[in-house]
């Protein structure tokens, strides 16, 4: 589904935008984006195709910050239609899968 997602363009006409690394992670920017992008109150936190967990939307920025320094993370909606992908290097992109 990620391969077929339509990725939104960031300010610089690129899909990726800087969200910070472990030292300068932009908590409020990430949380505001998660709150605006996802409609559900709980979302999935995915680290690979076999490891995921349901988290509250309000804890998303803390969860990403705690884990993203050494792995890529995807936040997705309950029906796997909306995604925010965080790269371990401190960038993120978001998109929607239209079936």
pLDDT given at position 10: 82
Q: Residue 60: exposed, middle, or buried by beta-carbon count in 10 A (0-12, 13-18, 19+)?
A: buried
Q: Closest Cα to residue 62, out of 30, 23, 89? A: 30
Domain of 53 in residue numbering reads as: 2-96
CA distances from 44 to 10, 24, 39, 47 (A): 23, 24, 13, 10
pLDDT given at position 99: 76
Mean pLDDT by 10 residues, the chain (99 residues): 85 88 90 96 93 96 89 94 94 92
- Rg over alpha carbons for the chain, rounded to the nearest Å, is 12
Q: How many domains does the chain have?
A: 1
pLDDT given at position 26: 94
């Amino acid at each position: 589904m990620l391969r077929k997602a339509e990725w939104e363009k960031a300010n610089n006409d690129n899909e990726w935008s800087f969200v910070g690394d472990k030292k300068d992670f932009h908590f409020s920017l990430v949380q505001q984006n998660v709150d605006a992008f996802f409609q559900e109150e709980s979302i999935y936190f995915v680290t690979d195709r076999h490891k995921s967990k349901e988290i509250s939307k309000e804890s998303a920025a803390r969860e990403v910050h705690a884990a993203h320094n050494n792995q890529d993370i995807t936040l997705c909606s309950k029906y796997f239609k909306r995604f925010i992908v965080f790269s371990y290097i401190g960038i993120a992109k978001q998109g929607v899968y239209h079936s």
